[in-house]
């Protein structure tokens, strides 16, 4: 496997190089550079198998670099900080990343995943989701739902609701489709925060655009536009009503 590292912080690049040489001696490091310009030259000339790519660079962003390269027929591991909006976009697009400052085990794990067989069509799908999510900083537009057989590129606006099923999450989509994913609803609550899906119960997320009305009887529940009913837990009732009110009057 051939690797290129793109980060404007030379100490970060040196740390990655040292760890790769120590843990993965079979990996060949093609280049270690700090700008989009230099990275573009190296990548188009040598076409690495794996690219470590910083999000923020002196002459632009890592995303801008990827837009210049078609197709992206290599694996990408983003290097990013905790507070960047881009982190949320990367997560919902199911792309790999390491957080600065990174732990050695975190980097090893990311490399191990990258060494597995790569489906380049799936990588293109993930990058498509990422590009669309980066168009607006207000909310995420697309999410990758990874089932046992496929990657599904889903518009957040097409998600009616999600329901916990042990360590799985079931998604109900407009048009009647359903998708079950082996991730917890708690994870999706975090990933989709601020994108229109609100937590209304320990086991339920609901897309606010599909709420028809709040019914007070039987402890309180939501009637949705597809005809289904979703319970609202007592401790979340206040914030659910506030979210509905904010949506109506925004």
How is the chain split into domains, by residue range? Answer: 2-133, 142-249
Task: Answer for the pair 87, 81: CB distance below 8 angstroms, yes or no.
Answer: yes
Question: Rounded to an integer, what distance in angstroms lies between the CA atom of residue 1 and that of residue 150?
Answer: 25
What CATH class is the domain 142-249?
mainly beta
Question: Rounded to an integer, what distance in angstroms lies between the CA atom of residue 181 and that of residue 128?
Answer: 20
Q: Which stretches of the chain drop beneath a pLDDT of 50?
A: none
Helix 10-23 with 104-115: angle, nearest 10 deg: 60
What pLDDT does 84 receive? 64
Mean predicted lDDT score pLDDT of the chain: 90
What CATH class is the domain 2-133?
alpha beta
What pLDDT does 6 receive? 97
Mention every residue, 6+ apart, whose C-beta is less than 8 A from residue 118: 75
Task: Answer for the pair 133, 92: CB distance below 8 angstroms, yes or no.
Answer: yes
Q: Is 146 exposed, middle or buried (0-12, 13-18, 19+ CB in 10 A)?
A: middle
Task: Answer for the pair 180, 147: CB distance below 8 angstroms, yes or no.
Answer: yes
What pLDDT does 122 receive? 82
What pLDDT does 89 receive? 84
Give 36-85 pLDDT, tens digit per residue. 999 999 999 999 999 999 999 999 999 999 989 988 889 999 998 766 66
Question: Rounded to an integer, what distance in angstroms lies between the CA atom of residue 249 and that of residue 244?
Answer: 9
What pLDDT does 250 receive? 57
Positive/negative CA dihedral, 181, 182, 185, 189: negative
């Amino acid at each position: 496997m051939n690797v290129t590292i793109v980060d404007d912080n030379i100490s970060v690049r040196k740390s990655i190089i040292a760890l790769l040489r120590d843990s993965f001696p079979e990996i060949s490091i093609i280049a270690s550079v700090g700008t989009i310009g230099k990275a573009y030259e190296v990548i188009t000339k040598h076409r690495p198998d794996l690219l470590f790519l910083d999000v923020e660079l002196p002459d632009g962003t890592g995303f801008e670099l990827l837009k210049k390269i078609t197709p992206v027929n290599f694996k990408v591991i983003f290097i990013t900080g905790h507070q960047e909006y881009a982190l949320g976009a990367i997560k919902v697009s199911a792309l790999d990343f390491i957080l600065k400052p990174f732990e050695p085990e975190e980097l090893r794990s990311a490399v191990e995943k990258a060494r597995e067989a790569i489906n380049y069509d799936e990588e293109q799908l993930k990058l498509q989701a990422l590009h669309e999510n980066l168009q607006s900083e207000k909310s995420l537009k697309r999410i990758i739902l990874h089932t046992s057989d496929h990657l599904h590129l889903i518009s957040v606006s097409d998600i009616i609701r999600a329901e916990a099923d042990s360590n799985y999450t079931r998604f109900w989509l407009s048009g009647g489709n359903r998708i079950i994913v082996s991730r917890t609803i708690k994870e999706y609550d975090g990933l989709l925060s601020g994108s229109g899906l609100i937590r209304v119960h320990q086991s339920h997320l609901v897309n606010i655009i599909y709420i028809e009305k709040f019914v007070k009887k039987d402890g309180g529940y939501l009637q949705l536009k597809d005809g289904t009913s979703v319970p609202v837990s007592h401790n979340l009732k206040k914030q659910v009503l506030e979210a509905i009110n904010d949506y109506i009057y925004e």
